[in-house]
Structure 1
Amino acid sequence: MTAAETAFLADIRQYAEKLFVVVNKIDLLEGREREEVLAYVSGVMRQHTGATNLKLFPVSCRHGLKAKLAGDSDGYADSGLGPLEDTLAEYLSSEKSEALLVAVLNKALRLTGQRPELQEIEKQLTTLRDLISRHRASETMWREVVAAEPPAPAPKEVSVREVAVPSENTELLKALATRSCPVCDHLTKAAFTFFAQWQYDLSTNEQVQRAFAEELGFCPLHTWRLADLSSTQGLSLGLPKLLERLAADFASFATSSQEPPDSLAPLRKGAGLCRVCGLLQEAEREYAARVAAYLADSAGQEAYAASQGMCLRHLDLLLAAAPNAEVRRFLLAEAARHFDRWAEDMQSFAIKRDALRKGLLNPDEEEAHLLALTHLAGNRILCLPRAGDELQL
């Protein structure tokens, strides 16, 4: 027997309790040779299948066909096909169902023995995938924050005054030490805190899912921020009610007797209009007002002068919230000083690189382009639109 044949026997033995082995062309052998061949086949079959109830049928299909055509029942029986046919008929009529049930039971027992372990492994893998997905999303988000925030410089001669700053202003003094915009930093942390809780609530709380659908979700920017911090499983649990609500609205428009709408504006959550936009707009107004109040005295202005100032968006809010014209002049003068310094540092960086004097670059020159971009456009992962703004693609 070939290796493929023996492998086949080993495979089928897992699923069959009873084997019928047919040895054809037995008419070509005589007496002792026939017995030797049958003994060999029987031994090989038992060796490779481990079968104890093996049935061996020596037949001559040539003689059997002749006898069948001639109507010779004795000759048909002598060919070996008669006994084989009778045995198979009995098996199919009385033993087949039992053998099938035994095979199914054996397979079930094998799977049962493996299933608890496989289920536990699959459960652990699913949990691990969710944790990895959330970790990667968080890591990506905070890498972007760090990339936009070079290491903060030492505050300029404010360490003595810091001791005397009232406790409610200590947080603002620390916030002004950032290389980025303090208001952008505050909003970035607020957004991350919101999304970290919301993605969990959306995947587990049906009331939150209904509210999300009723509000038509988030604006495009914050929809993708939610996706960044959610697992695939969480999104698959949290979004269907919103999709079902939209599907129902579309179906209603399509079947209504009235003229169908030519715009989906009522169903689209525009930039600046979603729950997260509202939360961040309120947070930035409140925080800008706190900073403006802090700048009303000389201690606050000195701390601000040692900082990198605000981005243009939040400088605008700060000017609107400033308590008087003197504070507004101070803010504009500081902005002029900062932007002029960054322009000078960037030009110096370019000149030194062109002149192969890279070793003479200082940290301010190396980071000037990041500082300029951050204060021109704000934190790049925040990109908070105002109500009514539309992104032009």
Structure 2
Amino acid sequence: MFTSTDSIDIIIPSFRLDEQFLLPLIRLPKPGGWQVNYYIVADNPGVKPGATLLQMAREGVIQLIINTKNIGPGETRNKGIDAGNGSWILFLDDDIVADEDLLFQYVKVIGEKKEAIGFIGLTDFPAPENSFTRALTVAGLTSIFTIANKKDQFIWGVTANIMYKRSALGDLRFSPELSAIGGGEDVDLGARLSMQHHTQFTCVKEARVTHPWWNYGQPHYDRFTRYGAGMALLLSRFKQFSWYAFPNPIEGMLLALLSAPLFFIYLSWQKWLILLVAIPLIDMVINYIRASGMGYKDLSVGYYMTLIRCSNEWGQLKTLLQRGQLHYFMKRINIDFTRPRHFRTNRWRIIKLVIYIILLAVLIY
């Protein structure tokens, strides 16, 4: 097997094996003098590879691995890591469209920064096309994908487009626990690697791919629930980077439910119901104001932002409750892994707090 230091293993986990996206990635122009190996790992025992992929596998253009059972994206990437031995490992998603010079841009930066532990490429999204995708943008769900546009270095990057140095990675692998829930494994591995080597990934905005809108841009929430579950697990793994915050809407509704007996005794169930309904409505109003500030004045943007956020918060709270980790209630994690203050706030949290105080005052008096 090729063992030159000038070699890249491209690992693409896939469930669908959609040739529409995979074939252009396999056929990307290759830099001269570099060995590029493809590991397409299907996490779907029942998948039927297309004729072209099967031919490429027979001819040795790619290595096609089909898992005997579904093991999750992180463990699937681990299979690809262990199957290859290239000096650099490039992770790509199976539904992205890469710029033609993607590999050239990575090779260029490797030549300039051979000691780097890895490189974070730019993962762009198309322009928002409806209220839901505008909500994703305003809510910041795409910001980590485009971190290469904002930073020169960062501690982790999404696996849609990121390169690891194999010698730096060593025996580190994606966490099976995080992979099982499908959220947070990219954060975890990148952070552990950066902390181990006391450095960060270099951002390369020129190494660009475009990611389609999830679910064709249509409303969906299971993905963000999984992300929230991943954040819950990261809290216990990196508790030194956690901090307390005001209750989010899901936590606030749980507190309102727990306080129901006091309302029924001292006030009324009608006032308690007003408080319960007001919690997500107040958040929706704040989200609409935020969206309006970015030029999106459609009321539905605030509505979708609230549902996206609540699905994420529910994933985190549900996971903490299932694990019996109630001491992380109202805790957050800094995903840039800077050491936070014990309590953080911002103008939006302060505005919501003032509204809550006024509402409670009205209900009590």
TM-score, scaled relative to structure 2: 0.25
Which has the greater radius of gyration?
A: 1
Bigger share in helix: 1
TM-score, scaled relative to structure 1: 0.24
Bigger share in strand: 2
